[in-house]
Amino acid sequence: MEKFLRDIGLKQNQHVMIHAAYRKIRREFPGLNIEDFLRIIQDIITPEGSVILATFSYCFAKVNEPSKIYNPDETPSKVGAVSEVFRKMPEVIRTASATHSFALWGRASGEIQPDNAPESPLGEGSVLEWLSRQQDAFILMLGTDFLSLSFCHYLETMAPVPWHDTFPWAYLGIRPAGVSIKGEQELHEVPGCSKSFVNFENYLLNRKIIHPFRYHSLFGYFIHVGLLLEHGLSFFRSRPLELLCPKNQCSACDSRRQNKIKK
């Protein structure tokens, strides 16, 4: 695993956001547990760089039933086994956002405060904004595609796409507010559906702007954040409709499309 990661470009002092599907990693690296996998990455990057994982728990205020209350020390991550192990590792801090928290290690954990909980969860003031401002920032995707690329939600707020502030989840019985042990916080620019981010992925692939790597059945990307910002802002501004699911297939995307027509 260490040689593999070095071969795809992982180096010391980089700030790296990781999206990893452990089931797919285990198939090619049998016997490697999640903690060892993360320690290998930390050893390569060193504490001068940063390891960042999303630990979203989606503790939104519910309309008709009691809300789940986010506690950074206890609430499990809902975005994968790797993030759930990482948030409990030594010297890792977890941010206070009730809906879209991150676990941080290395320089990010010193520069981003644990009480980080911006009103725009993945926009201005967020961990993703911090990442976008670092020179040596990368996104490592192992066994996942752009469906799980949270950075695209930051691009939605930056572009901004026409529905950046349309809350698309009302049909689930929730409100645009996060609920944590510190109380309730109104939110705006709540991230929507990410299924169509694969259209942006295909756009980058077709133009050979990004190059996937393969290790037997394990597929992924190691992408410079500056590259995603540059091509993402241009794509998100010129072709926003391609970031929504086709009509009548997804309530969240339909509500956003409807709002754009009204505007």
Q: Which residues bind Zn ion (CB under 5 A)?
A: 193, 195, 245, 250, 253
Task: Report, in Å, the least distance between residue 14 CB and Zn ion.
Answer: 32
Closest CA to 141 of 239, 240, 213: 213
Task: Report, in Å, the least distance between residue 80 CB and Zn ion.
Answer: 20
- If the CB atoms of residues 119 and 254 are measured against Zn ion, the closer one turns out to be 254
Closest CA to 164 of 124, 128, 192: 192
CB 164 within 8 A of CB 41: no
- If the CB atoms of residues 1 and 245 are measured against Zn ion, the closer one turns out to be 245
- If the CB atoms of residues 71 and 259 are measured against Zn ion, the closer one turns out to be 259
Q: By three-state DSSP, how is residue 116 classified?
A: coil
Place of tokens 């320089």: 107
Task: Report, in Å, the least distance between residue 195 CB and Zn ion.
Answer: 5
- If the CB atoms of residues 52 and 253 are measured against Zn ion, the closer one turns out to be 253
Place of tokens 């911090």: 130
Alpha-carbon span 18 to 14, nearest angstrom: 12
CB 156 within 8 A of CB 236: yes
Task: Report, in Å, the least distance between residue 127 CB and Zn ion.
Answer: 24
- If the CB atoms of residues 138 and 163 are measured against Zn ion, the closer one turns out to be 163
Task: Report, in Å, the least distance between residue 50 CB and Zn ion.
Answer: 31
DSSP 85-107: HHTTSTT-EE---SSS-EEEEEH
